[in-house]
Amino acid sequence: MLDRRPTFWALTLPPLVWLGAFFLTPLAMMAAFSTRPDLRGRLMDPWVPSLHQYEVLLSVPSYGRLLAISAGLAFVVALCATVLAYPVAYYLAFRKGRRTGTLLILLLLPFWTSYLLRVTAWKFILGSSGVLNSLLLYLGWIREPIEALLYNRQAVAITLVYVWIPFAALPILAALQRLDPSLLEAAADLGAPPVRRFLRIVLPLSLPGVLGTFFMVFIPTVGEYVTPLLVGGSRGSLYGNIIQDFFTKAANWPFGSALSMVMLVTTLALLAVAVRVVDLRRFIE
Amino acid sequence: MTTAPPFRIRIPALGIYYVGLIVLLYLPIAILFLFAVNAGTVLAFPLKGFTFDWFLRLSESTAVLKSALNSLGVAAGSSLVATLLGTMVALVLTRSPFRGKAILFGLSVLPLIVPFVVLGVALLLLFRAFGIGLSLWTVAIGHSIVALPYALLIVTARLAGFDPRLEEAAMDLGASYPTTIRRIVLPNIVPAMASAWLTAFTVSFDEFALALFLAGTSPTFPVYLFSQLRFANRLPVMIALAVLLTLATLALLLLAERIRRVE
Amino acid sequence: MSIRTRMTVVLAGAGALALLASCAPAPVAPGEVSGTLTVLDWAGYDAPDFWIDFQTTYPNATVNFEIGASDADIYSKMAAGDQADIFHPYTGWLQFYVDEGLVEEIDTSALTNWDQVPDSFKAIGQINGRQYFIPWDWGFTSVLYRTDMVPTGVDSWAALFDPAYAGHISMWDDGPGAVTISSYVHGYDETAITAEQLEAIKQEWIAQRDLNLFYWAGEPELIDAMAGGDVWVAYAWQGAYATLLGQGIPVAYANPSEGRNSWVGVYGIRKGTTNLDLAQRFLDAKLAPATGNNVVNLFYYGHANQAVMSGITDATLVDAFSVNDPGVLERTNFTPNLTADQRDAWTGMWAEVKAAP
């Protein structure tokens, strides 16, 4: 219905140009960079393309395995964050009173405090001599401090879900806010109990927001590296940490680029499968 | 936020859930507050005693405040660009049947897949190749790219299923398409755009990996914070600043709320 | 490409001219020296405390800082064409700057504080017989431990692999560092690690993960975990030791039988900089006493100026630098320079350790 060409192009061209210049071009450079045999010589000088980095990558099975683990963890985190965020969005969308905006900002405000500092504090809650353990010991519920709360992969997942919930609520909230209240009223008038009203009307109509949330959490979590660094311990590294290391600790940008390209293609493939399964057209149409 | 719906749901349990989440979110900040007034340099319990020293030392450092201002500027600018471009893509995706839809959608959410450090290095290579000096502008460009998908997903969630007949009706009544967008569509998606902007702002404000590569000699707050975190004796001062920033934003928020209630 | 090559020639020519100009006897009053310097430095060194002599001597010159996150980060940024005039690598990461032509030779005759630098330190900044870098900060690496949790004490680097401390060990997140420790423990020649040895080292560190609580990236992270009692035994620099001691935490800094490790931070000038004169002045001021005292007292790092070090009186610092133990330096292993191949192999090895199942 937006078949008026001038409007179409006026809306499409600016994002296309911007993404083309500052996203696709650097990405293409990165792809090219992954065919460098090493980082010797000046960075911008021409080189003979080779698949050396990819050969090295394939020769180390741990990397592929770690990518699978990271994708699996991202799936679980996205699922949990979406489920746990739904009630928050529901509350904000349908509560009485006019302060919804304030309550929303209250939810996002902690994110303006550095994540690094907040996770440092989070460690004082979960650490072996932390707030939670001290409390449980004091209450006599445990005899020894629980040490499994930090420095492992579960801790990474729990922390990620915790930090994602407020953001995850936003697409769901946006979807719920456009819900026509008269539909619910009509259903209520016809005697539909609340649970059925929710399952038959609210949930299906908010599905675009739910899917949006899921992908918004899943996609970046595949490449997550900060949280594992802070609470993952020696065994909690994710694929994103390995990429990060090759760029900032190893001065090996070509290999880091190759690792990134593999992750990019894998995530895209997963998304393509997801689109088939859930029929993403329902979301954007 | 939108027109008050006649239908309300009583949801006390959800209110408790919301409050519980807020408590969990603010608990780490409360702990940071404890360390900001703790006399010891090392962050560990038991606390060593009460002090305001860390806050006083803050005033000595103009570099901190400058980096905070840098971050504010970058976040404000990049989130504006991301929201506008994200909304454009959302409008096209939800309002116009065309073949490249999946490609446009894919391209626009692709920045989510690329780790920030990779995009940071890639942009660094790009700027170097074209001789563009690093500055806050280059950081803002990077942030506008990574925040765009968030804006797109949030606005799309609002637009999807928005009854197209409303627009058709407006156009049947003789409104041009741009007018229809301005008068019918935009008012309906303003709340979502506000959410999108807020999210984009938040993404930018605390972003470190891109900024480390693109900031050049003007550090953003997270980069400056990182520089201070290398040595233990600087940590409490930075915590004091973080606490101060949070309290100030909270105070502003409550003040705005107060003013609105008086009105 | 030809344009860029020509540009390089022109720039190099300009650099040579600048070099000539700096050699010419043209004394300028410090107050009249102006200009802008850009320094690519590690986080934290941008604080004026660490270039206070330059600031007071040249009030009309401006210094801007870019931040590098690690040796690798600084090196790859310079290799990618960073325009910083001065950069700050550490021992181990020096050779490639010379090999890739990224660093300018230093005219030490222009440095008034050069005589205060011991010859052993001067030698560290020399590559292929030329002074490309000036030494600036230095310190030890050794095993730091909680004396209340490890009453028997630590006398070997092997403590980092001791199952008795399972779950309470913390290693630095660094591949070359891991290779160094394994070399000490097994008596390998660090400069000539074979492929078999590297594989053994990799397996050793993969096994060590079951004992290791976390790999620390920044010193405060380690300090907090040791103060809180989560970590008992750690790979650490003497700054962490001095900080914990100052807070009354019961810790000791081992003198392993294999010897401590020692590292030195150096400054280099980018080849082709148009600010050569100002850069030399900056480096000279970096070696001056007020700056050196700040490094010692604020960061608990050693300084290349001998007068600064012999002036230390604070008991904690005397202990941290083993000032009263003249033999300690003889039992110390300085980090040798990595080749590009070693760099790639060792960092790759460490990534495989972290990615291992």
CA distance C327 to chain B (A): 29
For residue range C119-166, what is the model confidence (pLDDT) as tens digits?
A: 888 999 999 999 999 999 999 999 999 999 999 999 999 999 999 999
Predicted local confidence at residue A6, as pLDDT: 78
Report CB contact under 8 Å: B42, C240.
no
Q: How many whole angstroms separate alpha carbon C38 and alpha carbon C341?
A: 30
Query: A38-47, A247-256, C286-295: which has the minimum mean pLDDT?
Result: A38-47
Instruction: Provide the pLDDT for residue C353.
Output: 97
Question: Residue for token digits 């040249």?
Answer: C58
Pairing of the two strands C251-253 and C133-146: antiparallel
Say which residue the tokens 């942009």 belong to: B123
In Å, what is the CA distance from A81 to each residue of A32, B11, C265?
36, 21, 45
Residues of chain A in Cβ contact (below 8 Å) with chain C? 38-46, 56, 60, 62-63, 65-66, 120, 127-129, 147, 151, 229, 232-235, 237, 239, 241-242, 245-253, 255
Question: Strand runs (DSSP E) across chain C, as ranges?
Answer: 35-42, 61-68, 86-87, 103-104, 126-127, 130-131, 133-146, 169-172, 212-216, 233-237, 251-253, 260-270, 302-303, 332-334
In terms of CA atoms, which chain A residue is nearest residue C170?
A234
CB-CB under 8 Å, B230 with C43: yes
CB contact under 8 A, C344 and A38: yes
The ipTM of this complex is 0.87
Q: How far is CA C84 from the centre of its chain?
A: 18
> How far is Cα A213 from Cα C54, in angstroms, rounded to an integer?
53
Contact partners, residue B89, CB within 8 Å, separation at least 6: A11, A12, A15, B104, B105, B108, B148, B152
| φ, ψ for residue C134, nearest 5 deg | -110, 135
**With contacts defined as CB-CB under 8 Å, which chain B residues touch A87?**
14, 17-18
3-state DSSP assignment of residue C170? strand
Nearest by CB to C76, from A233, A245, A251: name it: A251
**Interface test mutation site (partner B, options A83, A244, A284, max chain B beta carbons within 10 A):** A284
pLDDT band, very low/low/confident/very high, at B45 (cuts 50, 70, 90): low
Question: How far is the alpha carbon of A213 from chain C, nearest alpha carbon, in Å?
Answer: 29
Under the banding of pLDDT at 50, 70 and 90, the label for residue B55 is confident
Query: Does C80 contact chain A (CB < 8 Å)?
Result: yes
Tokens coding A234: 């020696």
Using an 8 Å CB-CB cutoff, list chain B residues near A246. Answer: none
Copy the structure tokens of residue B199. 């999210």
Task: Mark yes or no for CB contact C244/B42 under 8 Å.
Answer: yes
SS3 A158: helix
Q: Cβ–Cβ of A175/B158 closer than 8 Å?
A: yes
Structure tokens at B210: 């891109």
- Closest CA relative to residue C142, chosen from C153, C133, C131, C152: C153
pLDDT more than 70, % of chain A:
94
The DSSP secondary-structure symbol of C312 reads -
pLDDT in tens, B111-164: 887 878 889 889 988 998 888 888 999 999 999 999 999 899 888 878 876 667
Task: Check CB contact under 8 Å for C348 and A250.
Answer: yes
Q: Decide if B84 contacts B147 (C-beta within 8 A).
A: no
Digit-coded pLDDT (tens) for C164-206: 999 999 999 999 999 999 999 999 999 999 999 999 999 999 9
Look up residue B185 and give its DSSP letter: I
A151 to chain C: which residues are within 8 Å by CB?
213-214
- The model's confidence at residue B44, banded by pLDDT at 50, 70 and 90, is low
Map residue B51 onto helix, strand or coil. coil
- How much is the pLDDT for B2? 39
The strand pairing partners of C133, in sequence order, are C268
Which of A266-280, B13-27, B144-158 is predicted least confidently?
Answer: A266-280
**Minimal C-alpha gap between C227 and chain A (Å):** 11
> What whole-number distance in Å separates Cα of residue C167 and Cα of residue A132?
19
Output B53 or A32, whichever has higher pLDDT. A32
Which pLDDT score, from 0 to 100, does residue B58 have?
A: 77
Confidence at residue B11, expressed as pLDDT on a 0 to 100 scale: 63
CB contact under 8 A, A62 and C357: yes
pLDDT at C64: 93
- In whole angstroms, give the CA distance from residue B208 to residue B225: 10
Judged against a pLDDT cut of 90, whether residue A283 lies above it is answered with no
Q: How far is C161 from chain B (nearest CA, A)?
A: 26
pLDDT at position C21: 46
**Number of inter-chain CB pairs under 8 A, A vs C:** 102
Strands C302-303 and C169-172: unpaired
Give the confidence band of B3 by pLDDT, cuts at 50, 70, 90: very low
All residues of chain B having their beta carbon less than 8 Å from the beta carbon of residue C38 are: 217
Interface test with A, best of B2, B3, B7 (most A CBs within 10 A): B7
DSSP assignment, residue A199?
A: I
In angstroms, the CA A168 to CA A214 distance is 8
pLDDT at residue A103, as a whole number: 86
Low-confidence residues in chain C, pLDDT < 50: 1-11, 14, 17-25
Q: Which two tokens stand for residue C151?
A: 């009453």
Question: What's the maximum distance between 2 C-alpha atoms anywhere in chain B?
Answer: 73
Q: How many whole angstroms separate alpha carbon C124 and alpha carbon C131?
A: 9
Other beta carbons within 10 angstroms of residue B101's beta carbon come to 16
Cα–Cα distances in Å, from C170 out to A238, C215, C233? Answer: 19, 6, 7
Torsion angle, alpha carbons of A124, A128, A129, A131, to 10: 50
Cβ C239 vs Cβ C219: under 8 Å: yes
Query: For A194-213, b where at least 16 C-beta lie within 10 A, e where not — what string?
Result: eeebbeebbeebbbbbbbbb
Which of B32, B48, B227 has the highest number of chain C CBs within 10 A, making it the mutation to test binding with C? B227
Ranges of H-type helices in A127-222: 131-139, 153-177, 181-189, 194-197, 203-222
Average pLDDT, chain A: 85
Instruction: Give me the pLDDT at residue C19, please.
Output: 47
β-pairing, C251-253 vs C126-127, is unpaired
- Cβ distance A199 to A86 under 8 Å? no
pLDDT at position B253 is 73
Identity of the residue in B17, B158, B177 whose CB atom sits nearest the CB atom of A4: B177
Positive or negative: CA dihedral A211, A217, A221, A223: positive
Are A253 and B121 an interchain contact pair (Cβ–Cβ within 8 Å)? Answer: yes
Position A3 confidence tier, pLDDT thresholds 50, 70, 90:
low
For residue C35, what are the β-bridge partners?
Answer: C61
> Which residues are CB-contacts of B32 (< 8 A; sequence separation ≥ 6)?
A113, A117, A118, A121, B239, B242, B243
Partners of C251 in the β-ladder? C146
Which residue on chain C is closest to B224 by alpha carbon? C43
Cβ neighbours of B48 in C, within 8 Å: 247
CB contacts, 8 Å: B149 with chain A: 216, 219
**CA C49 to the chain's CA centroid:** 18
Report whether B243 contacts B32 (CB < 8 A). yes
| Residue C260 backbone phi and psi in degrees, to 5 | -75, 170
Determine contact, residues A35/A234, Cβ cutoff 8 Å.
no
Which pLDDT does position C25 carry in this prediction? 45
pLDDT at A285: 47
pLDDT of residue C272: 93
Mean pLDDT for the stretch of residues B194-219: 87
| A107 pLDDT tier (thresholds 50, 70, 90) | confident
pLDDT in the model for residue C197: 97
Asked whether the beta carbons of residue B41 and residue C247 sit closer than 8 angstroms, the reply is: yes
CA of C326, closest CA in chain A: separation in Å?
34
Please report which confidence band the pLDDT of residue A255 belongs to, taking 50, 70 and 90 as the band edges: very high
Q: Tokens representing C291?
A: 């700056």
Instruction: Using DSSP, state whether C114 is helix, strand or coil.
Output: helix
Of chain C, the end-to-end C-alpha distance in Å amounts to 45
Q: Which chains touch B (3 or more CB pairs under 8 A)?
A: A, C
Q: Percent of chain A scored above 90 by pLDDT?
A: 35
Instruction: Decide if A184 and B7 are in contact by the 8 Å CB cutoff.
Output: yes
Report CB contact under 8 Å: C243, B232: yes
- Give me the sign of the Cα torsion angle B24, B27, B29, B32: negative
Who wins on pLDDT, B258 or A228?
A228
Model confidence, pTM: 0.86
Determine the residue of chain C that is closest to A128 in CA distance: C230
Bridge partners of C262, per DSSP, are C140, C334
Minimum distance, in Å, between the CA of residue A81 and any CA atom of chain B:
12
| Confidence (pLDDT) at C6 | 47
Specify the pLDDT at position A229. Answer: 87
Residue C71 to residue B115: CA distance in whole angstroms: 21
* φ, ψ dihedrals at C181, nearest 5°: -65, -45
Q: With 70 as the cut, is the pLDDT of residue A2 above it? A: no
Contact assignment for B234 to C44 by CB distance below 8 Å: yes
Among B213, B217, B220, most C C-beta atoms within 10 A, so best to mutate, is: B217
- What are the residues whose beta carbons fall under 8 Å from the beta carbon of B37, sequence distance 6 or more? B50, B51, B52, B54
Q: Please list every residue in chain A whose beta carbon sits closer than 8 Å to the beta carbon of residue C230.
A: 127-129
Which region among A64-78, B10-24, C133-147, C221-235 has the lowest average model confidence (pLDDT)? Answer: B10-24
